[in-house]
């Protein structure tokens, strides 16, 4: 068959033809706790910045590489360019991760990661021509650092707090991978604001480490899609080349800059609501255990609940106007997932009134 007579599907790359579309449950509901976003909303400062935006924010291109935002992010993470550290921004932190794969991975190179983890990692890997190699988390839900390093992959991906398990990695494991990995290490800290410990400080010690974060979760700006990566100047420079210009729109940059201000209605608001999410998370775990469920310890703004009844419970919750994320087919190397036959629920944390609706619905299903 000549190219002139081939269908678009036949002409597409094999890696694309074999990929399903990302399709989480998007049913209408009263309480949506499926996406781990800030269910209190966004800071007053961010909302004000959007409401007061001039028309040029719509009619003119944004800054090429988000220069004002990059400077603000460095201040926010208490680092300085003088230390050899830089920032790259993107359309969400997943865009930065995808760009890092393009920047450093050639066709056939391997990317190593632990499972279960962020579901888009193997998808991005295949789209970039990389060979995804997975290693199970340990029984303590930490990464098996030595096995990951032994793969000698071009890129190694870590996630803490980990999505979907909500568990935190140990500093010892993260530092071991950062020190001994043969290639680039990408550390995903999308839920850093809820964690007892973060690792962005390590970029001053390890020049092949890129730490990615997002404004979609604690900051409540998921609809604007802004993320960033912090790392050594050389790493950041290569990712920026692969990422391309104009990836953060002008309205998004305006809102993020406003919410990074050290005032009560900006960063103060974000920190206060992150603390409230942690408080409600711990209350939710107690409530779930009282219903006979066994959620894992959480370091994020969501709770992971291994249960063989996950799909049935998610369906029953949806019928009661509550949307959660149900997982099946998870790796069963870990005892809680073996006991649940690889199934689990992920429940985002928000105002306690929402959590009460979730618990009441689950009680009706128990």
DSSP string, 13-73: -HHHHTPPPP-------SEE-SS---TT---HHHHHHHHT--THHHHS---TT-HHHHHHH
Say if CB 69 and CB 224 are below 8 A apart. Answer: no
Q: Please give the pLDDT value at position 3.
A: 62
Last residue of a domain, one of 216, 241, 259: 259
Q: Please give the pLDDT value at position 4.
A: 67
> Using one digit for the tens of pLDDT, what is the confidence trace for 281-319?
999 999 999 999 999 999 999 999 999 999 999 999 999
Q: Please give the pLDDT value at position 22.
A: 72
Listed as ranges, residues in the chain with pLDDT below 50 are none
Report the number of distinct structural domains present in the chain. Answer: 2
Residues 144 and 241 in one domain: yes
Q: Please give the pLDDT value at position 140.
A: 93
Last residue of a domain, one of 259, 291, 326: 259
Q: Please give the pLDDT value at position 194.
A: 98
pTM: 0.95
Q: Please give the pLDDT value at position 366.
A: 85
Residues 213 and 232 in one domain: yes
Q: Please give the pLDDT value at position 251.
A: 97
Q: Please give the pLDDT value at position 1.
A: 56
Could you tell me which of 277, 275, 296 has the C-alpha nearest to residue 349? 277
Last residue of a domain, one of 226, 259, 292: 259
> Using one digit for the tens of pLDDT, what is the confidence trace for 243-274?
999 999 999 999 999 999 999 999 999 999 99
Residues 129 and 204 in one domain: yes
Q: Please give the pLDDT value at position 292.
A: 97
Cβ-Cβ contacts under 8 Å for 299 (sequence gap 6 or more)? 160, 161, 166, 167, 168, 191, 194, 195, 196
Residues 85 and 185 in one domain: yes
6 domain-assigned: no
Residues 314 and 357 in one domain: yes
Q: What is the extent of the structural domain holding 247?
A: 44-259
C-alpha pair distances (Å), 150 with each of 113, 144, 180, 265, 272? 12, 10, 9, 47, 41
Q: Please give the pLDDT value at position 182.
A: 95
Q: Please give the pLDDT value at position 2.
A: 63
Residues 182 and 254 in one domain: yes
Could you tell me which of 316, 334, 339 has the C-alpha nearest to residue 326? 316
């Amino acid at each position: 068959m000549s190219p002139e007579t081939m269908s678009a599907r036949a002409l597409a790359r094999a890696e694309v033809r074999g990929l399903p579309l990302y399709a989480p449950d998007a049913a209408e509901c009263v309480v949506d706790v499926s996406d781990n976003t800030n269910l209190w909303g966004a800071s007053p400062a961010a909302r004000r910045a959007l409401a007061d935006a001039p028309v040029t924010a719509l009619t003119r291109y944004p800054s090429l590489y988000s220069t004002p935002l990059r400077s603000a992010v460095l201040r926010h993470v208490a680092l300085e360019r003088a230390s050899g550290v830089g920032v790259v921004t993107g359309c969400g932190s997943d865009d930065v991760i995808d760009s890092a794969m393009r920047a450093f991975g050639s066709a056939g190179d391997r990317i190593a990661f632990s499972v279960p983890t962020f579901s888009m990692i193997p998808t991005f890997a295949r789209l970039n021509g990389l060979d995804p190699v997975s290693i199970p988390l340990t029984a303590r839900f930490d990464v098996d650092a030595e096995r990951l390093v032994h793969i000698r992959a071009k890129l190694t991906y870590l996630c803490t707090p980990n999505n979907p398990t909500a568990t935190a990695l140990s500093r010892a494991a993260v530092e071991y991978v950062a020190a001994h990995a043969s290639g680039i290490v990408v550390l995903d800290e999308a839920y850093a604001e809820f964690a007892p410990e973060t690792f962005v400080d390590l970029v001053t010690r390890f020049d092949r480490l890129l730490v990615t974060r997002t404004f979609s979760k604690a900051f409540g700006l998921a609809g604007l899609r802004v993320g960033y990566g912090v790392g050594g100047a050389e790493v950041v420079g290569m990712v920026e080349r692969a990422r391309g210009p104009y990836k953060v729109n002008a309205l998004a940059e305006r809102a993020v800059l406003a919410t990074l201000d050290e005032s009560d209605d900006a960063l103060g608001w974000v920190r206060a609501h992150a603390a409230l999410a942690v408080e409600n998370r711990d209350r939710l775990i107690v409530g779930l255990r009282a219903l006979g469920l066994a959620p894992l310890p959480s370091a994020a703004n969501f709770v992971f609940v291994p249960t063989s009844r996950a799909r049935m419970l998610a369906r029953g919750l949806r019928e009661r106007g509550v949307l959660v994320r149900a997982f099946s087919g998870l790796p069963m190397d870990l005892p809680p997932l073996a006991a649940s036959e690889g199934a689990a629920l992920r429940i985002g944390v928000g105002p306690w009134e929402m959590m009460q609706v979730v618990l009441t619905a689950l009680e009706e299903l128990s």
